[in-house]
Amino acid sequence: MKHFVIELSYRVPLSRIEESSAAHRTYIQAGVDQGLILCAGPRVPREGGIILARADSQATLEAFFAADPYLREGLAEYRYLEFLPLRHQAALADWVGPA
């Protein structure tokens, strides 16, 4: 598996983001349930969000997020940063997998 930090940057005012937040959060939960997403949440200050994810490829993640309301409605841009989680807490061993 490949691991990613996904950075969301809002392209519209926060008031517009809030209109789609419930649908976005429901969509993100589906990714958590599928094992694609470890955690996700808004950046501070709230100018976007951060998602920790894993998949067999970046293309798999891009295909999943293509249906995310924030991306589908043009509300946010997504930046995918692949990384190697060489060091982690023992609680993440199953999610990270073998080194």
Query: Is residue 91, in this structure, part of any structural domain at all?
Result: no
Alpha helices in 1-99 (DSSP H): 14-34, 58-65, 69-72, 93-96
Q: How confident is the model at residue 99 (pLDDT cuts 50, 70, 90)?
A: low
Query: Is residue 81, in this structure, part of any structural domain at all?
Result: yes
Query: Is residue 95, in this structure, part of any structural domain at all?
Result: no
Give the structural domain span for 75. 2-85
Query: Is residue 90, in this structure, part of any structural domain at all?
Result: no
Residue count of the chain, please give it. 99
Q: What is the CATH number of the domain that holds 8?
A: 3.30.70.1060
Query: Is residue 92, in this structure, part of any structural domain at all?
Result: no
- The tokens describing 15, both together, are 């008031």
Are 3 and 87 a contacting pair, CB within 8 Å? Answer: no
Query: Is residue 97, in this structure, part of any structural domain at all?
Result: no
pTM for this structure?
Answer: 0.94
pLDDT in tens, 26-65: 999 999 999 999 999 999 999 999 999 999 999 999 999 9
Beta sheet of 2-10, edge-to-edge order: 37-42, 48-55, 2-10, 76-83
Number of structural domains in the chain: 1
